[in-house]
Amino acid sequence: MDLNIAEPRIRPALAFAFTSAFCLLPSALLFPMLSLITLAAVFALIATRRIGSLHLPIWVIMTGGALVVLLGGSIGPNEAWKAIDWRVILFLACMFVIGRALEESGYLEHLAYLLFRHAASTDALVLLVLFTMGLLSALLMNDTLAIVGVPVVLLLAGRHRMSPKLLLLALAFSITIGSVMSPIGNPQNLLIAFHLENPFVTFLQHLFLPSMLCLLLAYGMLRLFYWSEFHRVRILHLPAEIRDRRLAILARLSLFLLAGLIGLKVVLAFEGTDFNIVYIAVVAVVPVLFGKRGIITEIDWRTLVFFVAMFVLMESVWLEAGESLIPYVTTDTGAILLLSTAASQLVSNVPFVALGIPPLLAAGGGARELVALAAGSTVAGLLFILGAASNVIIIQQAEARGETLTFAEFARVGIPLTAACLVVFWIFLR
C-alpha cells in the first residue's frame, strides 16, 4: 500500500510529527485517555491529510501518533515491541520486492498483453480487465496492481480509442473487489488471516462466489454509466516490450512459486496439515532477491514504517480502553459490513481493522464475523475515492500521465455499486 498519497514535503512533515509528539507529551497528565485522543487526532489527520498548506503522508501521521503514546507513557517500549506483528511486516516486504520486479522488468505489461489480446470488443476488454486484474489482486495485493495497472489500462485506452475514465474505474473496482476473496489480497485481509486457522480455505469458502458476482455487478454498472463507450468495432492488440529480460524471468519464477505454494497450502489444509502463510512470501521472493542486487532498497519502506507505527498505536488504545469497547461490539455480520464500510471512509481501512479485531474476537466473533470485517472494510474502497489507498494511488498515477478521475465521477458509479455489493456479501455471510 503506497501511503505517500500526497506530494509530500517530507522534512516539514517529519518535523511536525516529532514536534507534535513532544508538545503533546504533557497532555498525558491532563488526559488519562491519551491513546484515544491521539487515535482521534490521527484519524482526523488521515481524513484531511493536511494542516494548512502542509501535505502530510499517512505514514508520517501514524508515526507521529505512535510517538505520542510512547513518549506519553500510554505504552512502554517492551509492550510496543511485542505489539508489532513482524509476520505482517516480513510478508509485505517480500510482496513489495516481487511487485517491484514485475514493474521494473515490464513483465506485468507483457502478461497483460497475453491476457487481453483475445478481447476483440469493448465489452470483452472491460470484462477481461475486471476479472483479470481482480484475480491478480487476490495474488499480488491490490495496491501492487494499483501501481502497475494504470500504465497498462491507459495504454489500452489510447490504442483502442476508449475512455481512460472507463478503464481507470474498471481497474479501481476490480482490484478492490478481487482482493476481498484472498487473505493476501490487501493488508487488512492479511491482518485478519493471522487469526484464522485455514485463511485461504476460509476466505475462498465465504467470499469467492460473492466476489465473482460483484465483479459482474461492476461490469453492469460501468455498462450503464458509460453505455456510449461500448461499441462493436473490432480492436487489435500490439505486444508489450519486456525491458529487462533477466529480471522478467526471475519475476515470473517468483509468481510461479507464489501461486504454487498457495495451492499447496490450500491442499494441505484439507488434509489437516498446514504451514505459516509468511513462508509463501519468503520462498517466492528468493529468485528476485538474490537475482537482482539492491532491489530491496527500491521498495516502499514508508508503508512498512506505517504498519510498525500502527501496531504500536492500536496496542496502546487496546491496553487503555479495549475492555470498555467489548460491550459495544456486535457480531451481526450485516452490522459489521455496514460499520466497516462507513468507518473506512473516515479512516484508513487498515487501522480500522487492526483496532476492530481484538474487541470482535473478545466478543465471541469467529471466522464468519472476521471475513465480514474483511469484506466490509475492503468494499469501502468502492464507495468513495478516499475509501482505499489503492484508489488514490490510481488517481496519482493517472494524473502523472495526464488523466484523472474526479470525486463525483468515482462516486456516481461507486455508490450504487457499493450498495449492491453489500447486499450480495450480506446474503452470503448472514
Segment 285-326, tens digit of pLDDT:
999 988 787 888 877 787 788 888 888 988 888 787 766 666
Higher-pLDDT residue of 328, 35: 35
d(CA 305, CA 60): 9
Write b or e for each residue in 80-107: b if 16 or more Cβ atoms lie within 10 A of its Cβ, otherwise e.
beebbbeebbebbbbbbbbbbbbbbbbb
3-class DSSP assignment, residue 55: strand
Cα(411)–Cα(430) distance, rounded to whole angstroms?
Answer: 27
pLDDT of residue 427: 95
Exposure class string for 343-366: b at 16+ Cβ within 10 A, else e: bbbebbbbbbbbbbbbbbeeeebe
Cα 382 from Cα 419, distance rounded (Å): 9
Q: Which residues contact 238 (CB under 8 A, 6 or more apart)?
A: 113, 159
**Per-residue pLDDT reduced to its tens digit, 16-39:** 444 454 445 444 444 558 888 888
Cα separation of 370 and 361, whole Å?
8
pLDDT at site 30: 46
219 CB-side CA count, 13 A? 18
Average pLDDT over residues 364-393: 87
Look over the chain and give the mean of its residue pLDDT values, rounded to a whole number.
Answer: 81
pLDDT at 167 over 50: yes
Q: Which contiguous run of DSSP H or E holds residue 54?
A: strand 54-55
pLDDT of residue 169: 95
Helix H or strand E encompassing 50 = strand 50-51
Q: How far is CA 399 from CA 9, 154, 300, 406, in A?
A: 19, 11, 20, 11
Question: Rounded distance, CA 169 to CA 399, Å?
Answer: 14
> Rounded to whole angstroms, what are the CA distances from 347 to 186, 204, 335, 342?
16, 27, 18, 9
pLDDT tier at 269, thresholds 50, 70, 90: low
Assign residue 56 a region (left: φ > 0; alpha: ψ between -120 and 50; beta: otherwise): beta
Higher pLDDT, 370 or 363: 370
Assigned C-alpha cell, 171: 481497474
**Measured between alpha carbons, how far is residue 110 from residues 127, 138, 148, 152, 390 in Å?**
19, 19, 12, 9, 22
What distances in angstroms separate CA 372 from CA 78, 133, 273, 337, 338, one per listed residue? 33, 22, 25, 6, 10
Separation between Cα atoms, residue 260 and residue 275, nearest integer Å: 14
Query: Residue by residue, what is the 3-state secondary structure of 352-401?
Result: HHHHHHHHHHHCCCCHHHHHHHHHHHHHHHHHCHHHCHHHHHHHHHHHCC
Q: What angle do CA 125, 160, 173 make, to 5 degrees?
A: 40
Least confident of 8-22, 185-199, 246-260: 8-22
Q: What is the pLDDT confidence band of residue 141, given thresholds at 50, 70 and 90?
A: confident
For the chain, the structural domain boundaries read: 1-74+302-320
Of the listed ranges 53-67, 360-374, 375-389, the one predicted with least confidence? 53-67
Q: Do residues 177 and 375 touch, judged by C-beta distance below 8 A? A: no
Query: DSSP label at 240?
Result: P
Share of the chain above pLDDT 70, in %: 84
Question: Would you state the cell numbers that stand for residue 389, as one nine-digit string?
Answer: 489507498
**Which pLDDT value is given to residue 371?**
94
**% of the chain with per-residue pLDDT over 90:** 26
CA angle 222, 407, 139 (to 5 degrees): 60
Query: What does the pLDDT look like over 409-425, one tens digit per residue?
Result: 898 999 999 999 999 99
Can you tell me the distance from the alpha carbon of 147 to that of 282, in angstroms, rounded to the nearest whole number?
22
Number of alpha carbons in the 13 Å side-chain half-sphere of residue 85: 20
